[in-house]
Chains A and B, each alone.
Chain A
Amino acid sequence: MNIIVCIKQVPDTGSVKINPETNTLIRTGVPSIINPFDMNAVEAGLALRDGNGGKVSVITMGPPQAEEALRETMAMGVDNAYLLSDRAFAGADTLATSYTLSMAIRLIIDFDLILCGKQAIDGDTAQVGPELAEILGIPQVTNVSRLIEVKDTTLIVEQELEDGCKIIEVERPCLITVTKEVNKPRLPSLKNSMRAKKAEIPIWGANDINADEARLGLKGSATQVVKIFEPLKRTDSRMLKGDVEEMVTELVAELRKRVTR
């Protein structure tokens, strides 16, 4: 089973702050980590490979230092890694990102499965996985919390919904995005760490993946970030206490006071 896992290097959001004057993220001194959901995707790929054979390849688009993230996954046991890095990719929104990833994935190998984290903890859009599946024209299942069974040509998974879950059988090749419930990522091993340290990681630019320049980076982005800001803390909130009846009565009374007409 040949598996491709898409990962993203993100700032460790636990330590991110926003500059109130420029409304931009203060990135200096903030360590980068692999998006935690992507770690679950890597683990899912490794576990499927360990059980069914095949190879796991990891791919990321980012600045040259994203190579570190790729080596980290190789230390966990990933077979191959690819870095997509080019000035032309800069400023990409989810659409341009998934286009870029799709062009690279077409180059890699015949794949049975693409795995992504359900969303990145910095942008929280949850769009790249689904867009990538659309561009590649393959079926997708998002928010997968359990990989149940690998069949000859399909995969049975459990999709997490707000009020329950759905068991889905999906044709391969397909794309799956996973939640943190799907597994616990393994730690690196010494042998794989040694291999990761020495591994050659190809760096692909726009020309290497035969990309249409107009669909890359800022130019190829359908959306633009206008402003990043810290939402105001609401200080006028009040928690209602008591049993449901009491709380509803109080809530209705409060609302009535505020009805303006």
Chain B
Amino acid sequence: MNYFLTEEQQMIKDLAAKIATEKAAPLVAELDEKEEFPWEVMKTLASSDLFGVYLPEEYGGFGGGVFELCLVTEELSKVCCGMGVCYAASALGTLPILLFGSDAQKQKYLPDIAAGKKLAAFGLTEANAGSDAAAVATTATRESDFYVLNGTKQWITNAGEAEVYTVIALTDKTKGVRGASAFIVEKGTPGFSFGKKEKKMGIRCSATRELIFQDCRIPKENIISREGMGFIVAMKTLDRARPGVASQGVGLAQGALDHAVKYSRERVQFGQAISSFQAIQHMLADMATQTEAARALTYAAARMIDAGKDDISKEAAMSKLFATDICMKVTTDAVQIFGGYGYMREYPVEKMMRDAKILQIYEGTNQIQRNVIGLTLIKEMAKKK
């Protein structure tokens, strides 16, 4: 389908596809097996300027938005969803600074992030604060010119690999979510350490660790926006990042579909290629239609955000929900078309199905996305009356 990309957007997409096929693809199986961070691919993305596609030109970026971020994420995820999330999670960690940071904070952090010299990460989730993000227990206590952080963030993507962390912590425990604030914490700050690397089902080349804060003192200038704004910073950040997760789903689904179409023309049973059977054709047709529909919804949501609309929660949630549910289905069907071979690690679709599952879980489970959509519908109706 033609999405009428601008010349610049097409260039971004082509370049990302080139890196994905030439640099990333040969490493996919090995990095999954070894659970090793794709630094070589990240460095190539950096030298090709792709970490800056969504950042303003004044900070060394390309001046694009969420849409450009989606294009790169999709192309990477076609080849490896794990690499896609390493890239996209850095943007997730950067968005709080971009959206709510002071000029000084932007000057200090964005140029290095745009150049790909530093990765970023976002720390919200805790052991007892998953879908119930308001239950965070990490605290930030003001002491003269510092905030002192204590607590543990869990399952943080890019943790240990990133240099810049945006973290949500309570500055006033008595106020609940209104007592949360967002902070920038740099790797290497005394009192800030990482837990062991988690062993995951999929996206195994990406790094997932705990962020551990033990009397970690950070300058008071590192607060993003002001005290009490943490939850708003987090929610607005997640709204803008959701089409990025959707793009992982679109890319991964497309990658699995491409493998399935190719395999179906090679695999001979009953004396003919299995692609000649309608049972297979119909499966492929559904997979392709659903993937395209997911892409269209994702692009529409991203473009709506970039156009500057304020109420984007519903559409962002829809794109994430639909694209990642579709991705789970399409990757599962791809394994089905491969049959027994599909279940084997020697073939690529087994990993794709494992990778797909997390997309329905992280950055808001798909149940939470439905909550967001449902509540918005009710609010919209209530406003009309």
Contacts and interface: CB of A to CB of B under 8 A. Distances in A.
Given A187-B18, A187-B19, A190-B62, A197 B11 contact: yes
B50 A190 contact: yes
A194 interface: yes
A191 B23 contact: no
B214 interface: no
B7 A193 contact: no
Given A189-B49, A190-B50, 15 more contacts: A187-B18, A187-B22, A187-B44, A189-B15, A190-B11, A190-B15, A190-B48, A190-B49, A190-B52, A190-B62, A191-B49, A193-B11, A193-B15, A194-B8, A197-B11
Nearest to B68: A190
24 contacts: A187-B15, A187-B19, A187-B23, A187-B44, A187-B47, A187-B48, A188-B15, A188-B18, A188-B48, A189-B47, A189-B49, A190-B12, A190-B15, A190-B48, A190-B50, A190-B52, A190-B53, A190-B62, A191-B49, A193-B11, A193-B15, A194-B11, A197-B7, A197-B11
Interface in B11-61: 11-12, 15, 18-19, 22-23, 44, 47-50, 52-53
Interface string A183-223: 00011111101100100000000000000000000000000
Interface residues of A, number: 9
Pick from B12, B15, B53, B62 the residue with the most CB of A within 10 Å: B15
A186 B22 CA distance: 11
Interface of A: 186-191, 193-194, 197
Nearest to B51: A190
A186 B11 contact: no
A129 B111 CA distance: 42
Nearest to B46: A189
Contacts of A190: 11-12, 15, 48-50, 52-53, 62
A180 to B, nearest CB: 15
A188 B18 CA distance: 9
Contacts of B12: 190
B228 to A, nearest CB: 39
Contacts of B15: 187-190, 193
Contacts of A188: 15, 18, 48
A190 B16 CA distance: 10
Contacts of A189: 15, 47-49
A256 B302 CA distance: 78
Interface in B165-187: none
Contacts of B52: 190
Nearest to B7: A197
Top 4 A-B pairs ranked by shortest CB distance?
Answer: A190-B49, A189-B48, A189-B49, A191-B49
A197 B8 CA distance: 10
B49 A186 contact: no
Nearest to A196: B11
A197 B15 CA distance: 13
Contacts of A187: 15, 18-19, 22-23, 44, 47-48
Nearest to B47: A189
Interface in B301-340: none
A66 to B, nearest CB: 20
A70 B181 CA distance: 52
A188 B49 CA distance: 9
Contacts of B62: 190
Contacts of A194: 8, 11
Nearest to B64: A190
A190 B52 CA distance: 10
Contacts of B49: 189-191
A190 B53 CA distance: 9
Nearest to B72: A190
Nearest to B60: A191
A185 to B, nearest CB: 10
B114 to A, nearest CB: 11
Contacts of B48: 187-190
A129 to B, nearest CB: 27
A36 to B, nearest CB: 13
B159 to A, nearest CB: 28
A194 B61 CA distance: 13
B59 to A, nearest CB: 14
Contacts of A186: 47
A197 B7 CA distance: 10
Question: Which residue, of B8, B19, B48, B52, has the highest number of chain A Cβ atoms within 10 A?
Answer: B48
Contacts of B7: 197
A190 B9 CA distance: 10
Contacts of B23: 187
A191 B8 CA distance: 10
A63 B48 CA distance: 29
B40 to A, nearest CB: 11
